[in-house]
């Protein structure tokens, strides 16, 4: 994974660790897509989104605040996504279910070539709403080519 060896998420805290992982995985996922490694790129971007949602949920200063129902598990990415939409952090422009389905397919097989730009555009909007973007590449540790 793109964050391997570049960070120690456990000592960074519940919000800062996932935020850095989201940024590293965004960078790595985009690189993989551009290299034609579509399945690896999609899976990496999914992890970036999951980390971004975890970072938002763990941030006590997040605005608007996350509204959870009793018993909701924020460690379940589908539950967390729906809570973020319900809390008006995210809107309905991003089709999480379709992205989840595409990611499941990418985990099983190499995806055939497709125009991923519309997906990336709506995902980028979502990452902006979660506070992951924009960010400076210079603020990230140098990428390790051995990660993929």
| Residue 145 belongs to a domain | no
Range from 5-9, 11-15, 84-88, 144-148 carrying the lowest mean pLDDT: 5-9
- Domain carrying residue 48: 9-63+94-132
| Residue 45 belongs to a domain | yes
| Residue 47 belongs to a domain | yes
CA gap 7, 73 in Å, rounded: 26
For 70-91, what is each residue's pLDDT tens digit? Answer: 999 989 999 999 999 999 999 9
When pLDDT is cut at 50, 70 and 90, the band that residue 13 belongs to is low
Total domain count, the chain = 1
| Residue 77 belongs to a domain | no
Per the listing, tokens 């998420």 go with: 9
- Structure confidence at residue 3 (pLDDT): 43
Cβ pair 19, 51 in contact under 8 A = yes
CA gap 118, 15 in Å, rounded: 28
């Amino acid at each position: 994974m793109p964050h391997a060896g570049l960070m120690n998420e456990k000592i960074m805290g519940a919000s800062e660790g996932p935020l850095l992982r989201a940024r590293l995985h965004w960078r790595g996922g985009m690189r993989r897509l551009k290299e034609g490694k579509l399945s690896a790129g999609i899976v990496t971007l999914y992890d970036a989104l999951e980390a971004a949602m975890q970072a938002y949920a763990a941030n006590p200063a997040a605005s608007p605040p996350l509204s959870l129902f009793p018993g909701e598990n924020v460690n379940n990415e589908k539950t967390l996504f729906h809570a973020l939409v319900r809390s008006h952090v995210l809107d309905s422009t991003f089709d999480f279910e379709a992205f989840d389905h595409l990611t499941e397919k990418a985990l099983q097989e190499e995806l055939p070539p497709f125009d991923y730009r519309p997906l990336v555009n709506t995902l980028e909007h979502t990452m902006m709403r979660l506070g992951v973007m924009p960010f400076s590449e210079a603020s990230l540790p140098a990428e390790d080519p051995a990660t993929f």
